[in-house]
Structure 1
């Protein structure tokens, strides 16, 4: 029965004449969400000065967005399954756009942080529902190619954010890192409202499991906060352990709730299916490595070499291009080459790229190395999405996309926290040893992940 539903969905999707154009608009929307992490990071010193932010407020300018984004992702995906992805995409766009305008107009820390939380809420609605639409509109080899485009835009977004942040901050000023989202968001809203077909919910509309949604949202937020906090306060402190324990207990309570709820938020068995479990591992690793590339590269150029934000952004153009190229090529060949082969190749490429700067901390070498690593991580993004989402039924597309997107945020938090801890000596001092240690650790992690991927990633004949 599931196969019949998938086949019908594929035939409908294939008949849609605007699916590639819709993919372009959805990809730009996702790019906007990813940009809003790194573009803000470059502008933070100027925001801090203009608004007189405390150190805690500076940190929360980034964390407030990522916490709301990551914590609400599963809820956003489930909502897309219940009421239709089109509605959630459009609502998320409006929330994100309005929040961006509010944040750009902020004259105080309170308004700034409130706007960032609202941006995260809009992003959590938009990202999984948009990915759900991609999964639903494409099938087979076309789906792999579409995920390649999606991953290319998302993977290159972090690097492009560095350049855009430098241009806007040095030009019209830091409010424009938020204002730029407004015309783009409105244009995408109008285009998608016109192009997306009316999409009734695939399943009957049971009531949302409010308790389950609260448990998983709170647990995800606490875990992301625990990882972020550990980067500054230590991994083995009582507070860090306590937050992780609270998150684990919350997840266990969520799992119990899903077995007893009349209308469960998700089938927890979905998490242990081999393709989904492997895909979430790969997306977390790819994101952690991408964040390591961004973090180590930008801090090396700005702190180690005293380069300005604009020059740093320009140096990241090859990284953005390589990431997009790696993702696009993988989307085109993954059906023939196989997910396992491409996943291992991507992780090994990332490992080699990270090793290059570790051997020679020269600006040219660093750019070359992180560009190679970017190409590898771009490939892994596609493999992760294709593996996790390639076999999901239409009625599971939203929640499965929410799972993938949630682990994307987990990976970002873990990557930032670990790398910032390892590279701390170089960030606060005048030595390059911390950056070298960070590249060594990232290279080793990518190589180890390649071994895991070789064992876990399903082959062409493995379905579960």
Structure 2
């Protein structure tokens, strides 16, 4: 728990609306600007002169590094100071955006290095900003003021993620060009630093039992090796060959690093990831479904990329298809909160997942004429947003209200790590299947008689269908995990009577 009382009672400093605006600007640096590449990358891939698999890796690697380091950054924020880590995150955001904005065209390794380097730095930035800003909001507000501040924090994350495709498309097709996205990000980062100037430092109370124990660097190293190996294998599989020696070596590295990681984490007292939390079925189910539904972000890169290539849409036109997603997710987050209060977490989590699945399934119908497909994707993305809005708050409540109060911080870190890693791995697999599906013989696809209209792009549309249906599968598994693990409201009320279980306030994306 934070040692800092609300600032007005401890230092005389009180947060203002301008300060809260600075927090929101810091948060949207990832959710709005960094995530625009989901929609922009199909249009700039050729301009930069990078292969499609490299472009797909550039999209997913930001969420990957955010997910890997979010628990580390949260721990460092508690120890070293949340303001220090927040400032570090904003400076990293400026550096990452600068690297991408200055990425040269058609210079081979240098182009790839600057693009990937900038995306990695953006991921590290998000890992620093998200837990530190959340902790500062909780430390310097209380009561209804805290609920209001958390709502603005959530709007910065969910609203940014909903607006990123449309904003990215708008800027990329304007006279300013796609690089302006990252110059604007730098400007708003500088503004955030100005608005946040003078924030008093906040740290967490140290647990005497673990205060003098060193950080679990060995666990972190093997965790990084494990996830980077599998992400590179997934994203680069079409190029290096799924069963090539290089591909098999990456799989072997993933398996060995994963086994060593499990050995380390089950034996260490100060484990990087507290695996004991997964002994709680409700936490496991909520975290797994959160991982899978965030993985469904692969729907965006496949569907928007498909209409840009197959139908000749610009990034702005394709981004407009997601307008319903933006409106729906902002409109239904509070609805999900009300459903949680009325029915408990299980029903709205299931309803939200089912609605999301139907929306993605509608986006998977790539065998139709383009006009029909556009109508279905508009409806599908809107349902996607409605489903996530229903799911978000009940899922967070289910994950965190069933763990002891002393473990809420660790549980929050793992839950949010699942969000970022799910996004990274889901995007990587969806994009890889999209590319791999295009290698199927077009004559074989035509022989099935399913794809109507143009036949010169059936392989492209088939690859899109495979990539999108994978996202439907992830939602189905998420639904199964909720059914099997999250208790009904009656059982939840019984568990809530236990003295060691405390429900924290819901958090955002």
Distance 1:99 1:438 in 2: 29
- Describe how 1:12-161 pairs up with structure 2 within 5 A: 18=15, 25-44=22-41, 48=45, 51-53=48-50, 58-107=55-104, 108-109=110-111, 110-134=113-137, 150-161=153-164
Residue 203 of structure 1 corresponds to which residue in structure 2?
206
Q: Is the 8 A contact 1:96 1:118 kept in 2?
A: yes
- Describe how 1:329-344 pairs up with structure 2 within 5 A: 329-344=335-350
Residue 264 of structure 2 corresponds to which residue in structure 1?
254
Query: Is the aligned partner of 1:450 residue 2:479?
Result: yes
Residue 229 of structure 1 corresponds to which residue in structure 2?
233
Pair member with larger Rg? 2
Query: Is the aligned partner of 1:412 residue 2:423?
Result: yes
Query: Is the aligned partner of 1:400 residue 2:411?
Result: yes
- Describe how 1:301-340 pairs up with structure 2 within 5 A: 301-340=307-346
TM-score, length-scaled by structure 2: 0.75
CA-CA distance at 1:346 after TM superposition: 0.7
Q: Is the 8 A contact 1:355 1:440 kept in 2?
A: yes
CA offsets 1:135-190 (integer angstroms, 9 cap, x no match): 55678998788666545543443442222222222231232222111121122233
Give the one of 146, 165, 168 matched to 1:165: 168
Q: CA RMSD in A?
A: 3.9
Distance 2:256 2:414 in 1: 20
Distance 2:115 2:467 in 1: 32
Query: Is the aligned partner of 1:242 residue 2:280?
Result: no
Q: Is the 8 A contact 1:128 1:401 kept in 2?
A: no
Query: Is the aligned partner of 1:349 residue 2:352?
Result: no
> Which range is displaced more, 90-99 or 132-141?
132-141
Give the one of 366, 369, 383 matched to 2:380: 369
Stretches of structure 1 that go unaligned for 5 or more consecutive residues are: none
Residue 196 of structure 2 corresponds to which residue in structure 1?
192
CA-CA distance at 1:197 after TM superposition: 4.8
Q: Is the 8 A contact 1:303 1:427 kept in 2?
A: no
CA offsets 1:339-380 (integer angstroms, 9 cap, x no match): 122111111111222233446652111210121022102332
Kindly tell me the number of residue pairs found equivalent between the two proteins: 454
Q: Is the 8 A contact 2:82 2:136 kept in 1?
A: yes
Distance 1:336 1:12 in 2: 35
Give the one of 258, 273, 280 matched to 2:287: 280
- SS of aligned partner of 1:72: helix
Distance 1:275 1:33 in 2: 29
Higher helix share: 1
CA-CA distance at 1:33 after TM superposition: 0.7
Distance 2:147 2:62 in 1: 30
CA-CA distance at 1:298 after TM superposition: 0.4
